[in-house]
Amino acid sequence: MFKKLAIAAALAASTSFAAWDLYPVLDQHKGEVGTAVGYTTDKYSSSLTGTIGARYSVIQNLELALVLPYRFFTHYDGHDMNADGLGALTFMARYQITPTINVFTDVGFPTADESYYAKDVWSVAAGAQYSNSINSFIRFGSEIGIATYFIGSADITSMFLNASTEFEFNVTPQFTPYVGANIDVFLGYFADDGYRYNSAGGGDIDARIYVGAKYAFNDMFEVGAYAGIWFGNGSYKDNTEKDLGAYGSFKF
């Protein structure tokens, strides 16, 4: 499944985690490659971002993945800001402890173009996922964890709490609509003043709700589309952000 990766394409600079999805890992020696494109817009700006990624289950219960976004353009007040280029390459690992519980870690590398992303940003996220089938028609997935961003050039480390949930509805074996939500809570930051670290509390909360659907042509090839909206009193205070996108994936 490629929904979470598609969301990452649309929200390349957000604090949402980049875990591939909220459900059990692939079976041993199974893999998936995919591509996605996402468009975001708010009252001031808009951008278009593409993403490519791949995941593979190297041993039973252990899945590894790489995701690389690319910003095609960024417009502000109708003008091209020349803010584009590669995004942050992210390495992801998930381990399935039980049939319903995964643990994960993501590491983002400072590969993003400085025209639209802060210089020398490393990110590390870790947490747990729970998923289960409510009945033959509804499947539920969830995630909670901590994300930390290290900005080397500014000697600043920021921390966020993220929680996500999603419901899939198996209308037919091929067609599956879904709804979900993400919540990001800013916990604070630590700044190095040369001799000690000082911390400042956070508490700003942003949320995203989204809807989408996927269609599986067969067991290997799948396409989908989604739309969502961000709002809150943190990054999206007085400026909600809307996003939409499409994606396709191939399993092997």
In order, the DSSP letters of 142-189 are: EEEEEEEEEEGGGTEEEEEEEEEEEEEE-SSSSEEEEEEEEEEEEEEE
Token pair recorded at residue 121? 């940003």
pLDDT reported for residue 152: 67
- Superfamily of the domain at 3-251: monomeric porin ompg (2.40.160.40)
- CB-CB neighbours of 248 under 10 Å: 18
Q: How far is CA 76 from CA 41, 49, 71, 79, 99, in A?
A: 10, 15, 14, 5, 46
Whole-angstrom distance, CA of residue 221 vs CA of residue 1:
10
CA distance 250 to 216: 10
pLDDT in tens, 15-25: 444 568 999 99
Query: Tokens for 80?
Result: 């091209």
3-class state of residue 137 by DSSP: coil
Position 123 scores a pLDDT of 87
Predicted TM-score (pTM) of this structure: 0.87
Q: pLDDT category, 198, cuts 50, 70, 90?
A: very low
pLDDT digits (tens, 9 = 90+) for 93-138: 999 999 999 999 999 898 877 776 666 788 899 999 999 999 999 9
